[in-house]
Structures are given as C-alpha cells and as structure tokens.
Amino acid sequence: MPEKEKSSTTRTSVGSFAAEVDEDSLLDEQASLVPSQPDEPLTWQSLILGYLCFVMLGIAPQLIQNALFSETAVLKSIVPEEKEISAYIVTAFMVANIFCLIYLCIQRYRPITDTFFVYIIMLGNLALCPIIIFLWKKTFFLERWGNVSWILILCSFLAGSFGNTATLVFFAFSSYYHSIFTTALSVGFGVGGAITTIMALVQDPLVKRFPVEVFFLSLGCLLLVTLFTLIIVLHTSWGRSLKRPTYDITDTGRGSTASSYSDYMSVNPPSEEVKPVSHLRASLSPLFNMFWLSMITFFVPAVIPFLSDEPRNMMYMNAIFLVAPPVGAMVTGWLKVYHLTWSSVIVSILLCVIIIPVIKTTQTFSVEFWIVCILLVCFSLVSGYGSTMVYLRIQRDWDREPRVMEKVSRWAGFANQIGATIGIVINDIIIRSNVEEMLLVAAIF
C-alpha cells in the first residue's frame, strides 16, 4: 500500500474511532436523562421499601420549617418579640419564596440536575439544626425595634427557602420514578408536619417537658436518617431500579420497551417547535387547581381559632389539619381520579360550610364540635388528595416527554407556593380585621 494511501486510511480509522467514542459518550450522557428499564418488574418488597424510602425523603425538606412554626408556642414566652415571633417567622417563610423564582430562572437558562438541588436542600436543613441549637437565643439590638432574634428569623428565612423550593424540586425529581413513589413523597411532606406537631404536643408549651435544643437535636438525627435514605435511592442499583420504565417503542419492531436512549429518541424525537409556554398552556388545568387548592388550604388556619374557645379543641383541629392531608395523599396510590376540578369545588364548598358558624354568631356555636371535626377531616383529606393528584395528572399527561414532565412539575410546585402565599396573606388580613365581615366576603368569593 502506498505511504500516502496508508496514512489516509490511518487518519480515517482514527477519525471514525473518535466519532464513535464521541457518539457513545453523547448517548451515555443523554441516557442519564431518561430512566433506565429495570431488568425485572418491581417486586412487592421493592415497592414497599421504595414507598417507605420516598416517605422518608418527603419528611426532610420542610421539617425545620414545620418545626419552627410548631415551636412558636414555646418561643413566644422566651424571645423578646413574644407573640409577634409567629408573625415574623411566617413572614420570613413568605419572603423566602424568592428562591423559588431563582430556582426557576436557573433551570430555564442554566439547567442543573435536580439531584444537586435535592442534596442542597437536605444538607441545608441538616446544617440549620446545630445553628438553631446553639444560637437561637442570640439577639441584635435595633433602635426602632429593640432586641431582635435575628438568628431565629434568619434561620426561618433559610428554612423557608429550602422548604418552599422543595415543592418545585422534589416532585420534579420524583417524576422519573414510578407514580406510586410520587404519592409516597407527598405523604412524607404531610408526615413531616405531623411529626413536629406531635413533638410540640408532647413538649407542651406550659410544662416544657424538654427544651428547644432537644427538639431540634431530635430532628437533626431524623434528617441524618433521611440523608442516608437519599444516598441509597440515588447510588445503589436497587434505588435506580425504582425509576419509571422506558417508553414503548413498538413502532421500531425491536420489542415493547426502549433498550437505549437512541431507540427512545428514534420514536420520540424532541420537538423544537413546542415552546415552554405551550407546555404551560396545555397544563393550565392542573396548575390552576394546584394554585386554588393551596390558597384555600392555607386560608383555614385563620378560621380554626374561631371555631372553638377551648384550647384542647384547637389542638385537635390543628392535628386534623396536619395529619389528614397525608392520608388523602396516600389514597392516590389506589384511587386515581384525574379530573381535578371536583376536588377544588369540594374544598371550596366545605370551607364555606366551615365558615358559616363563625358568620352566624360571635359567641357560642350551635354546631356541635364533632361536626366541625368531621368537616375539617373531609376538607383536609380532599385537599391532600387533590394536590397529590395534580402531580400524578402531570405525569400521565406528559408520560412520553420526561423533560416536559419535569418542567411542568416544577411549575406546579411554584403554583403551590403562590397559592400558599396568597392564602397566608388572606389569613393575616382576617386575623387583623373584623373577622365576621372578612369571612363573609371570603365565603362569597
């Protein structure tokens, strides 16, 4: 073979090899965007263990946020702000919603894997525990406001940023796993609130069976367990087997499931014509229902104090409000109704029925307390069910477009936070205004 021809052949071979390497590396990188097909169907043991793991993951994101709110009954007798500390903490939670916008901007212009943000949220909550344990009593003197518990308020802001952003991150993260695990994640979010409520009840603000430091030390230990659970889910072959199966490619004639990313993309090529606005427009119904359910749900805490004058009854109603939603979320694992408007209508009607006793009288209530409890249970169950079904509806609608599913799930979390913020604002207005008149306006609305 002539030297020139041999050299040309060598260059061609090297070039072909480099092209193959580049193509393989590109496919490997792209394949990470699409869940891998498990070698075998999930066994019932894997489903149960996976369900428990995702419940644990759901507990973590808002645990410190819920704990700070639950501890306000104890804090108000210690910190210089007294009763106003609750308002400061809730305000810090609301202001922290700015991080939801920052997260959406990052994912829009400089996308980063949700796994990174999941770790940031988990580690951030864990880091807050020692800060609160050792520094929560620190104050800073301001001439206008006097002594301010700036460490506590700053930690509330950070806890709110982690907890609020988690509704965008964690459900987008769970969209790549079987839908049953999205249900488990939603249950975990509710269980986290129930845990802090039960701990606060055991602590008892009057008796103070254990101090604030022990409260957050216990939560820190729980967060370590959830972090270990996350590592198992992300970095073990069993955890990866929990992901959703790859998508049907029967048109290719190579079987019922895609064996590689290239197989999947050959049948489901990415559409350059479909814009994010189109995705949102197509998902307008679930997004609006999420917004409405969240707003109505966070309106209820303003009503509860006026439903009974008995402190113990208030304790029972608060417990119902925190414990019943995860039960409703759990039901979505067995009963799926994808038409979401009914849940928004039902919670709106139930809220109006709950408000009626407050409007009718300002002294005693003609409605029995057990009836009020039943109404609250129904309200909370439907609210928890409906908000979880929003994510399951998104997963069903965009099942063949995982990237779109992930983005719309983020926007659903953002709608949740916007609704919650508006609900909290209405909550605050009601508390500071003529209750009967405001509730009447709300019921008419």
Tens digit of pLDDT for each residue in 24-37? 443 444 444 444 44
In this prediction, residue 25 carries a pLDDT of 43
Paired sense of beta strands 140-142 and 146-148, if any: antiparallel
194: its two tokens: 């129930």
Q: Collapsing DSSP states into helix, strand and coil, what is residue 177? A: strand
In this prediction, residue 59 carries a pLDDT of 94
Amino acid identity of residue 142, one-letter, is: L
Percent pLDDT > 90 in the chain is 20
In this prediction, residue 119 carries a pLDDT of 96
Query: Can you tell me the distance from the alpha carbon of 163 to that of 62, in angstroms, rounded to the nearest whole number?
Result: 4
Angle CA 361–363–369, to nearest 5:
85
CB atoms within 10 A of CB 88: 18
pLDDT digit string, tens, across residues 271-295: 444 455 566 677 888 889 989 998 8
Task: Output 316 or 192, whichever has higher pLDDT.
Answer: 192
Provide the whole-model pTM.
Answer: 0.69
Query: Can you tell me the distance from the alpha carbon of 250 to that of 126, in angstroms, rounded to the nearest whole number?
Result: 46
Look over the chain and give the mean of its residue pLDDT values, rounded to a whole number.
76
In this prediction, residue 430 carries a pLDDT of 63
- Whether residue 388 contacts residue 360, with contact meaning beta carbons closer than 8 Å, is answered with no
How would residue 162 be classed by pLDDT, with cut points 50, 70 and 90?
very high
Residue owning tokens 């925190």: 322
pLDDT at 264 over 80: no
Query: Can you tell me the distance from the alpha carbon of 58 to that of 163, in angstroms, rounded to the nearest whole number?
Result: 11
Relative orientation angle of helices 402-432 and 284-297, to the nearest 10 degrees = 30
- Whether residue 397 contacts residue 407, with contact meaning beta carbons closer than 8 Å, is answered with no
In the chain the domains, ranked by start, together with CATH numbers, are: 42-243 (1.20.1250), 282-445 (1.20.1250.20)
The size of the chain, in residues, is 445
Q: Collapsing DSSP states into helix, strand and coil, what is residue 430? A: helix
Cα 191 versus chain centre, distance: 12
In this prediction, residue 117 carries a pLDDT of 94
| DSSP label at residue 179 | H
How would residue 50 be classed by pLDDT, with cut points 50, 70 and 90?
very high
Angle CA 51–408–347, to nearest 5:
70
First to last CA, the chain: 88
- Whether residue 119 contacts residue 127, with contact meaning beta carbons closer than 8 Å, is answered with no
Contacts from 259-267 at CB under 8 Å and sequence distance 24+? 259/37, 260/27, 260/31, 261/27, 261/30, 261/31, 261/33, 261/34, 262/27, 264/34, 265/30
pLDDT digit string, tens, across residues 91-116: 788 888 889 889 988 888 888 888 99
Query: Can you tell me the distance from the alpha carbon of 122 to that of 231, in angstroms, rounded to the nearest whole number?
Result: 11
pLDDT digit string, tens, across residues 228-249: 999 999 999 999 889 876 433 3
In this prediction, residue 311 carries a pLDDT of 59
How would residue 44 be classed by pLDDT, with cut points 50, 70 and 90?
confident
